[in-house]
Amino acid sequence: MLPKRLITLSFFASIPGGEGNEALDFQTVVGSYNKSYSYASQLNNLIGWPSYPAPEAFIFAVGNGYSAFSRSNAFTVSLNGHATATQSLTPTGAPTIMGTICANNTSIAWGNVTVAGGVSTLAAGVGCSVIHMGVPNSGHTQITLNVMNHDGVTAHSFAAGGAAVVASVSYPPTGVLPTIIDVTPITGGTAATFDVYTYLIGAGGATPSDLAFQFHVVAN
């Protein structure tokens, strides 16, 4: 049987095979019933010569949809070079597979935070911003996640507590006093946050103190 409804809708598009696929400008598509997010910027065949798609728009896709009314992708590659696997491992405690990348088993944000004079600075990192909370030496920094959905345009909405955050003090302060670092669960929504508290341990117990730290986040 011939494949069903393989449509190259635009310039420089290709569909080597599959079922129910659609390819927009500069796209190559395989699999079945892929999903396109960028019709407005990648469907120019009706108005003239195409322009390059937006950097976040995908140019390669493996569809895994079931019908024209249930389109989805297993994997995409964008013009600017990021690859996106869309499967999320479920339920909680599901086994992983060696060598695979899934939507919820990779780091979605990480940071190297330095603190000086009561000001927290994201010295390096992606997917987040930081703000120092309270007065200097409060030992309290809040991290706000900045994560997009698979379309590269809309903000991802997190479930409250739906993440694993690992944080550690970057280096011991002068005198090499013991340290403690605590992290709260993430809040829900599109600008989810979590709070980091750092302490020095002395003879009088734990004292809040501004310390440099590092973190990474894995989340749904």
Residues 133 and 71 in one domain: no
The tally of domains found in the chain comes to: 2
In a domain, 183, yes or no: yes
Q: Does residue 129 sit in the same domain as residue 164?
A: yes
Sign, Cα dihedral of 30, 32, 37, 42: positive
Same domain for 189 and 113?
A: yes
By residue range, what is the domain housing residue 12? 7-85
Residue 57 lies in a domain: yes
CA 43, 156, 147 angle in degrees (round to 5)? 95
**Residue 13 within any structural domain of the chain:** yes
Structure tokens at 168: 């550690």
Q: How far apart are CA 205 and CA 68, in angstroms?
A: 63
Query: What is each CA distance from 28 to 11, 25, 129, 176, 189, in whole angstroms?
Result: 11, 9, 35, 56, 34
What is the tens place of the pLDDT at every residue in 183-209? 999 999 999 999 999 998 887 889 998
Q: In this predicted model, what pLDDT tens digit does every residue of 70-95 receive, in sequence order?
A: 999 999 998 888 888 888 888 778 88
| Residue 57 shares a structural domain with residue 154 | no
pTM assigned to the model = 0.79
Residue range 111-121: average pLDDT? 86
Pair 14, 78 in one domain: yes
Degrees to nearest 5, angle at CA 27 with 25 and 31: 140
Q: Which helix (H) or strand (E) holds 41?
A: helix 39-42
Reading the block at residue 9, the tokens are: 């809708």
Q: Are 208 and 147 part of one and the same domain?
A: yes
Are residues 125 and 60 part of one domain? Answer: no
Q: Are 78 and 58 in contact (CB under 8 A)?
A: yes
